């Protein structure tokens, strides 16, 4: 039975500390698998489903011995679904925030053209602000603000799904 009782505290990346650090380390690998950039079949850790090398006797991700955890030749679908939930949440929040940034730049553009005094009301300057500011806002609000929210929400969701999987697999 894994430690499911450790409560996430506002530490770690973006204010969320996963109770399962190996999931964070596996996230990128699992996204490669989800995108089918790596073979579906292989030799995977029987506990955390990390891909193992032939020479591994201890899993480099969850530290279980291969002898104890065993191996499987494919990652179970519910496990992949957990990683996908995190990936989706992160992408969604990045896009949403970038969109909000672009809207903000568009509003500023309209305000400048309609009410900007003197040079500030010149369409050319307002247009520069729209493009430059929109780009900047999308860059900042998307990955930085949205990415953080998405990371937190997505990680929490993934960890819940993983906890449910452990419970189902290993029993209470």
Q: Which residues bind Zn ion (CB under 5 A)?
A: 45, 47-48, 50, 59, 61-62
Q: Measured between alpha carbons, how far is 61 from 141 in angstroms, rounded to an integer?
A: 32
**Residues forming a β-bridge with 71:** 45
Closest separation between CB of residue 161 and Zn ion, Å? 17
Asked if residues 161 and 83 have their Cβ atoms less than 8 Å apart, the reply is no
Beta bridge partners of 72: 44
Nearer to Zn ion, 70 or 132 (CB): 70
Q: What 3-state DSSP class applies to 94? A: helix
Q: Find the shortest distance in angstroms from Cβ 75 to Zn ion.
A: 11
Say which residues have a Cβ less than 8 Å from residue 4's Cβ, sequence separation at least 6: 19, 163, 166, 167
Nearest-approach distance from CB 62 to Zn ion, in angstroms = 3
* DSSP reduced 3-state for 72: strand
With the C-alpha atoms ordered 8, 9, 13, 15, is the resulting torsion angle positive or negative? positive
Q: Which is nearer to Zn ion, 46 or 143 (CB)?
A: 46
Which helix (DSSP H) or strand (DSSP E) does residue 114 occupy?
Answer: helix 77-115
57 or 77: whose CB is closer to Zn ion? Answer: 57
Closer of 23 and 129 to Zn ion (Cβ)? 23
**In this complex, which beta carbon is closest to Zn ion, that of residue 9 or of residue 63?**
63
């Amino acid at each position: 039975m894994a430690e499911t009782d450790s409560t996430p505290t506002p530490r770690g990346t973006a204010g969320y500390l996963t109770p399962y650090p190996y999931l964070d380390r596996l996230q990128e690998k699992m996204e490669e698998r989800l995108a089918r950039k790596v073979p579906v079949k292989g030799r995977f850790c029987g506990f955390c489903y990390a891909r193992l090398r032939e020479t591994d006797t201890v899993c480099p991700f969850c530290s279980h011995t291969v002898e104890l955890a065993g191996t499987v030749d494919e990652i179970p679908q519910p496990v992949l679904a957990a990683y996908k939930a995190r990936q989706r949440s992160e992408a969604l929040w990045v896009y949403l925030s970038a969109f909000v940034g672009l809207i903000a730049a568009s509003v500023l553009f309209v305000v400048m053209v309609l009410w900007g005094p003197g040079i500030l009301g010149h369409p050319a300057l307002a247009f520069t602000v729209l493009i430059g500011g929109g780009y900047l806002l999308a860059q900042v609000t998307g990955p930085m603000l949205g990415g953080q929210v998405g990371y937190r929400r997505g990680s929490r969701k993934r960890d819940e799904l993983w906890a449910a999987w452990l419970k189902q697999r290993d029993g209470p």
